[in-house]
Structure 1
């Protein structure tokens, strides 16, 4: 007969591990993801801050210009200074060679490209204003505003490339 003290029972599985707290590997993965996100966001913030600083340099220099003619002269000076970052000889270019240099595509500043009046770059009216506007007694403020936006974009591009 059976001994009543030796009562056998079925084998029971232990309960499943809880969802929280996660295992150490998940903590490491979450930490790595947060670190990468922090680095990416820090770099983006730093680049945006640099872009704002460069825009402020450009805008402050033009705000100091009393007349549209002085503004054109300031734009020319800023572009020539920024061009030295791309090519040390660029600030010595004159006329159409200077306008062609201004119209070269980004990342390909060494290769020559003909600027045309229809491409919306410096090869058209804004370029002519840049070449001759500082020497005119009067300049149309609307033309200067067009030149300013085009020159500001090129200035920022050159200053951020390096």
Structure 2
């Protein structure tokens, strides 16, 4: 008996692919990644908010330095107001008993010590007028751009370590 030869490939069935993997429900690893990502975002948000709040005095003081220079044409009044602004800024980051009574050379020495570059720009440089200028009736000409730059740099270098958020 001779059987007609059949093609063995004709007996094969088509390949059936498995159903596609659904997006939902998420695997536990994805849930962990979502929770960690949200936690990091919340921590970053609150850290940035705290940083901005702790350093708000710097932004305000730097803006006021520029405003003082434009508002006051009288050098004596300008120096008094600039000195007052420096004291307020120093009081924002240092204990009151360390700052309140400082004036003259002691005040300039304090400003020099609390500069990150630790230079003598206040005692011997352009900032020297801040030591005795506020207490004099007339002040010699003041290099306002250089003084503004020095004071703004000093303000930016202060850190608000002791302020509470």
Q: TM-score range by the shorter chain?
A: 0.5 to 0.7
State the 1:106 CA deviation. 6.5
Paired residues, what number? 138
State the 1:74 CA deviation. 0.8
State the 1:57 CA deviation. 4.7
State the 1:159 CA deviation. 6.9
Q: Distance in 1 between matches of 2:139 and 2:121?
A: 23
Instruction: Give the secondary structure class of the aligned counterpart of 2:160.
Output: helix
Please give the residue correspondences for 1:3-152 in structure 2 after superposition, counting only pairs within 5 Å.
18=21, 20=23, 22-45=26-49, 47-48=51-52, 50=56, 51-60=58-67, 63-85=70-92, 86-89=94-97, 90-105=99-114, 119=119, 121-134=121-134, 135=136, 137-141=138-142, 143-152=143-152
Question: Any gaps of 5 or more consecutive residues in structure 2?
Answer: 1-16
Q: What CA deviation, in whole Å up to 9, does each residue of 1:88-119 have, x standing for no partner?
A: 23121232221111122469xxxxxxx7xxx3
- TM-score normalized with structure 2 length: 0.60
Q: What CA deviation, in whole Å up to 9, does each residue of 1:3-28 have, x standing for no partner?
A: xxxxxxxxxxx969849454133233
Look at both structures and tell me which one has the larger radius of gyration over its CA atoms.
Answer: 2
- TM-score normalized with structure 1 length: 0.61
Q: Distance in 2 between matches of 1:45 and 1:139?
A: 43
CA RMSD of aligned residues (A): 3.5
Higher relative contact order (CA 8 A, sep 6+): 2
Question: Any gaps of 5 or more consecutive residues in structure 1?
Answer: 1-13, 108-114
Report if aligned partners of 1:95, 1:131 keep a CA contact under 8 Å in 2.
yes
Report if aligned partners of 2:79, 2:130 keep a CA contact under 8 Å in 1.
yes
